[in-house]
Amino acid sequence: MKNKLPDIDGKTACFGVIGAPVAHSRSPEIHHYWFEKYGINARYLAFHVEEGNLAAVINGAKALGIRGLNVTVPHKEAILHFVDEIALPAQKIGAANTLFFKEGRAIATNTDAYGVVENLRQQLGAEKMQDCLQQVVVLGAGGAARAAVAGLMEAGATSITLTNRTRKKAEKLAADMQTQDGALQLVDWDAKEAALKAASLLINTTSLGMQHQPALEISLKHLPKNAVVYDIVYTPLMTDLLTRAKAQGNAIVTGDGMLLYQAQKAFHHWHAILPEVDADLRARLQT
Ligand code: ATR
């Protein structure tokens, strides 16, 4: 993007993302777009960080006066061991993607759950989103599933049926995230197709269907015609799951907005401005 940013001086606020790998992260581009749009004197950089250096990163960020960091794969869970405080969303999910620094303390939070739900709301509209939260079927039990379940529960999901290849991981998720009314049920991976009969929303949080990953093999023939299908995989944007769902008349939601909306919420934490996800920003990220 064009560089109209001011030079770094004593007044330039510094932000960044830590991960491994991180070189291809689009987050610097997103945040710089908003710095420019809202006239904020700041820089956002991608830092390749190995796991053994997380404690040093937190101390270094404090010493350097870095104001906020995003955390990406594979550090979202491990980072919790090195911060001074864990805000509720990160506690619930068991992972953080956003850190902010306040009075010398590092605070971890999570905006991925917001990203999953806000992307759904933006693509479906608020009313249709509420309708599809009646009977949710979640595929997967990794970090993305945890964020999705937390977000969907908070958004008012009445019933969530979760299935994962490794049952133990699903059981751990359910034990950590179960609500008192038992809204979260588990089914075996082999029984996932039967669970679709009553689904109002099917969400894939596994890596299946992603470029260079195995296909997601699931028949959609039992899925009601008014159910929504949401794939968090966005490389490719139109996954085989979404292509098949669309062909049989189901509404679909693509995963590309999640990155933008988790960034929107992180930006809000850091700058107290809820930045707009506008058409220009979306278009830049298509390239
Ligand atoms: P993320 O943080 O992106 O969610 P993750 O924690 O590694 O990544 O989770 C990946 C998810 O994809 C898991 O639910 C994983 O299932 P397992 O818990 O059984 O590993 C799922 N997944 C990955 N490859 C899979 C495959 N070949 N078949 C079925 N599920 C798969």
Could you tell me the pTM of the whole model? 0.93
* Residue 114 DSSP label: H
pLDDT at 4: 53
> What phi and psi values does residue 121 have, to the nearest 5 degrees?
-65, -40
Indicate if ligand 1 lies below 6 Å from the C-beta of 144: yes
Task: Report the side by side order of strands in the sheet with 135-139.
Answer: 184-188, 159-164, 135-139, 201-204, 228-231, 251-253
CA dihedral of 73, 5, 114, 116, whole degrees rounded to 10: -60
pLDDT tens, N- to C-terminus, the chain (287 residues): 444 555 677 789 999 999 999 999 999 999 999 999 999 999 999 999 999 999 999 999 999 999 999 999 999 999 999 999 999 999 999 999 999 999 999 999 999 999 999 999 999 999 999 999 999 999 999 999 999 999 999 999 999 999 999 999 999 999 998 776 779 999 999 999 999 999 999 999 999 999 999 999 999 999 999 999 999 998 899 999 999 999 999 999 999 999 999 999 999 999 999 999 999 999 998 87
Phi-psi region of 151 (alpha: psi -120 to 50; beta: other; left: phi over 0): alpha
H or E element that contains 88: helix 88-93
Token digits for 251? 């509404």
User: Whole-angstrom Cα distance, residue 100 to residue 275?
Assistant: 17
Give the residue among 133, 178, 181 at the shortest CA–CA distance from 157. 133
- Beta carbons of 137 and 163 less than 8 angstroms apart: yes
Q: Is the CB of 166 under 6 A from ligand 1?
A: yes
pLDDT digits (tens, 9 = 90+) for 83-128: 999 999 999 999 999 999 999 999 999 999 999 999 999 999 999 9
207 CA to centre of ligand 1 in angstroms: 6
**Is residue 255 in contact with ligand 1, taking CB distance under 6 Å?**
no
Structural tokens at position 262: 């988790």
Q: Residue 148, Cβ neighbours under 10 Å: how many?
A: 31
User: Distance (Å, rounded) from C-alpha 218 to C-alpha 170?
Assistant: 18
Give nearest CA residue, ligand 1 atom 3. 144
140 lines ligand 1 (CB under 6 A): yes
As a whole number of angstroms, the distance between CA 259 and CA 269 comes to 16
Rounded CA gap, 275 and 261, in Å? Answer: 10
**How confident is the model at residue 1, as a pLDDT?**
47
Instruction: Indicate if 76 belongs to the active site.
Output: yes
Model pLDDT, residue 5: 55
Beta-strand (E) ranges in the chain?
13-19, 42-48, 68-71, 85-86, 98-102, 105-109, 135-139, 159-164, 184-188, 201-204, 228-231, 251-253
User: If you measure from the C-alpha of residue 40 to the centroid of ligand 1, how many angstroms do you get, rounded to a whole number?
Assistant: 38
